[in-house]
Amino acid sequence: MTDAPRHSAPAEPMRLGFPVKVMARPDLKSNDARRWQNAPHLKVSLEYLDGILDHCAARGIRMYRMSSDLAPYATHPDMPQFHDMIAESDAELTAIGAKARALDIRLSFHPSQFVLLNAPDPEIVTRSVRDLAAQAEMLDRMGLGPEAVLVTHVGGVYDDRPAARRRWVEAWHRLPAHVRARLVLENDDIRFSAADTLWIHGETGVRLIFDHQHHWCMNPEGLGVVEAFGRVLDTWPDDVRPKMHFSSPRTEMRQITRKDRKTGKPRTVMQPPIWTGHADFVQPFEFVRFLRDCAPLVARRPFDVMLEAKMKDLALERLRADLVRYVPDVGAVFGLAPDAVAPEPDAECAGAA
């Protein structure tokens, strides 16, 4: 690709990150997933996280999204025996935060889909706030700065979009201060667009996350990609680096098993792809096109990119190699040079499910 504009590397290279599971290393667990009867604990999860940080450092990966289940059952209303595990793990959280800072690895959380601040049911909102407060507390005890965020979505439409947006705003104003300091809001692919989140920002001041694939799937207002992304970047303070999400849509036919109405037996049918689905890897030329279009934004306001491909760290490493091979000026934006990219992991992708 030879079209202008070309990129010049920012003073501090932009980061590429991946979420939760390390596909190249199936032996590296992301959290203590034992059932409650076996007394799982945050301290065990932090031991796993320590190994993941070592792996990221060895591979030159400087951004990682932690599992939302890092502290198992810590907020479960019927299991008070787990409620003190975050405080009990203060020393371990302090140590892991110091290690992440020393390695310059940006950490974040993305709470589960069950966190719904705009739910009409007050009990669901209460549980959601409890989950957010626990994850914000972990980031605080790690001693991480404002780049360490909690990413959430607006929630459900509940048959009334304006009312759903207003409920999110009302919930924001009731959040504990340490949650508001960490929470950022992302546009989604089927319910709330970037324009919706920009409206909410205007009412609250909450920082925003731009998801590239979601914007293509959900943009009834017709905002251009660069326009929408630029406005989202401006919701971040000048002294805090923004982040955004990037993924490519799946293009394969989907294999679906259904019950045959006549025979009652299961049968397999093929269906075309749904564009909200994430591909295993990032289509590099799509990514480069986005970066090319956003060159003025990169020059004005460098940002980090969380990749949400299904193959996670393997997709990240493949994209880095592709950037160096095809578009070295874009690779330079992420601090990549031909001799700086580690060899690709096992081509058999042993970590794939």
What DSSP letter does each residue of 3-31 carry, written as one string? PSPPP---SSPPPEEEES--TT-TTS-SS
What pLDDT is recorded for position 353?
38
Q: H or E segment at 271?
A: strand 266-271
- Rounded Cα gap, residues 170 and 203, in angstroms: 10
Q: pLDDT means per 10 residues in the chain (353 residues)?
A: 59 94 97 94 97 98 97 94 96 98 98 94 96 97 98 96 97 97 97 98 98 97 97 97 97 88 87 90 97 94 97 98 94 86 52 43
Three-state DSSP state, 215:
helix
What pLDDT is recorded for position 263?
87
pTM metric for this prediction: 0.91
What pLDDT is recorded for position 260?
84
Q: What are phi and psi of 262, to 5 degrees?
A: -85, -45
Instruction: Look at strands 254-259 and 266-271 and give their pairing.
Output: antiparallel
Q: CA torsion angle for 59, 135, 14, 322 (degrees, to 10)?
A: 50
What pLDDT is recorded for position 265?
87
User: And the tokens for 170?
Assistant: 């009302």
What pLDDT is recorded for position 3?
55
By the 10 Å C-beta count (0-12 exposed, 13-18 middle, 19+ buried), 244 is classed as: buried
What pLDDT is recorded for position 5?
60
The DSSP output letter for 32 is: -
